[in-house]
Amino acid sequence: MQYSEEVYDSSQRPHPFIEEFLSLLKYRELVYQFTARTITARYKRSVIGVAWTILNPLATMIVLTLVFSQIFRFKVEYYPVYVLSGLMAWNFFSHTTSSAMGEMIWSGGLLNRIYVPKSVFAVSAIGTGLVNLGLSFIPLLLITIVLGVKITPALLVIPFSVLLLSIFALGVGLLLATAAVFFADMIPVYEVLLTIWFYATPIIYPVDILPKQLLWLFALNPMLYLVQIFRDPLYLGVVPSWQVWAIAAGFSLAAFLVGGLVFTSKSNEYAYRI
């Protein structure tokens, strides 16, 4: 068996963004392998395995429900479903962006020696996130049914919500991965930012407790819309208005383009900087 003849000519490279995209298509098996590796390696070491992915959001939800219904006493109907669906979208975003950055840095030794499309780490972080997100639908649907929240056909738009969330997370993840190559403290800094970002997004509290005069500030947060397009169909059983979709899509595409272009324009420096 022989390879097909391929020619690499450094003077005839396409635009780095396109080159990266084509290369990623060619290395799709690697994306699958990285995703599978992360998932199997994680569950092999933990005793309760897959169950953990399901128990973790459940435990968080129970704690938050107790805290918010007993201490803060604001009224959100079916709060467990509200908080769990919001957490699912948020956790997907925070985990995929952090690991897009982390995997890239930890795999530095490999990137130094062998050619792989460097965005493969970010893309497979999204893949891993999607698997975990899929699993966390099990506890969500369970609670939805137990509490008697109505399940409506609005549910059918969830794949589009997840798509926009993924595009947004990929863009942010690529931007972070680039930054992390240049700044050693990017990983801890991002953890702090994530915590602030989490509390600035209506996930554990309802939108209407936000102060009226500060609403414009909160409206600048992309995650506000990305959480909404995910949560509304599950929690309220309605499809958000087209304006909300348009803003969410706008933020996703902008993040994707900025992240993708910055990442690919700097990719030549990764090999000696990591």
Partner 1 sequence: MSTLTASESTALQQSTLRAEPVIRFENVAVLYRVPRERVSGIKEYTVRWLQRRLKYEEFWALRDISFDVARGEIFGVIGRNGAGKSTMLKVMARVLHPTKGRIVMRGKVAPLLELGAGFHPELTGRENIYLNSSLLGFSRKQVDRLFQSILDFAEIGDFIDSPLRTFSTGMVARLGFSVATCIRPDVLLVDEVLSVGDSSFQEKCLQRMNSYQQQGTTIVIVSHSMETIKSFCSRALLIDRGQTVALGDVNEVVQHYTG
* Cβ proximity of 99 and 117 under 8 Å: no
Asked if 241 touches partner 1 (CB under 8 A), the answer is: no
Show Cβ contacts of residue 186 under 8 Å, excluding neighbours closer than 6 positions.
Answer: 101, 176, 179, 180
User: Strand, helix or coil at 237?
Assistant: coil
Pairwise CA distance, residues 261 & 272, whole Å: 20
Residue 16 or residue 206: which is nearer to partner 1 going by CB?
16
User: What character string, x for contact with partner 1 (CB under 8 A) and - otherwise, covers 96-115?
Assistant: -------------xxxxxxx
User: For partner 1, which is the closer residue by CB, 8 or 216?
Assistant: 8
Q: Does 191 bind partner 1 (CB under 8 A)?
A: no
| CA dihedral over 164, 165, 166, 170, signed as positive or negative | positive
Stretch that binds partner 1, among 98-106, 225-233, 236-244, 266-274 (CB under 8 A): 266-274
User: Position 72: which residue type?
Assistant: F
Specify the residue for token string 């909160």: 218
CB 228 to partner 1: min, Å: 31
Tokens 């390879």 -> residue:
3
Work out how close the CB of 56 gets to partner 1 at its nearest, in angstroms, rounded to a whole number: 20
CB of 181 to partner 1, least distance (A): 12
End-to-end, the C-alpha distance of the chain in Å comes to 36
In 3-state terms, what secondary structure has residue 274?
coil
Total residues contacting partner 1 (rule CB under 8 A)?
Answer: 43
- Contacts with partner 1 in 31-90 (CB under 8 A)? 32-34, 36-37, 40-41, 44-45
Chain position carrying tokens 């949560």: 231
Q: Which is nearer to partner 1, 9 or 208 (CB)?
A: 9
Contacting residue, 156, 183, 217, 241, with partner 1 by CB under 8 A? 183
Cα separation values, 223 from 22, 84, 117, 123, 154, Å: 30, 16, 28, 20, 20
- If binding is defined by CB under 8 A, does position 192 make contact with partner 1? no
Segment interacting with partner 1, rule: CB under 8 A, options 58-66, 147-155, 159-167, 185-193: 185-193
Q: Which residues of this chain interact with partner 1, rule CB under 8 A?
A: 1-3, 5-11, 13, 26-27, 29-30, 32-34, 36-37, 40-41, 44-45, 109-116, 182-186, 189, 268-269, 271-273
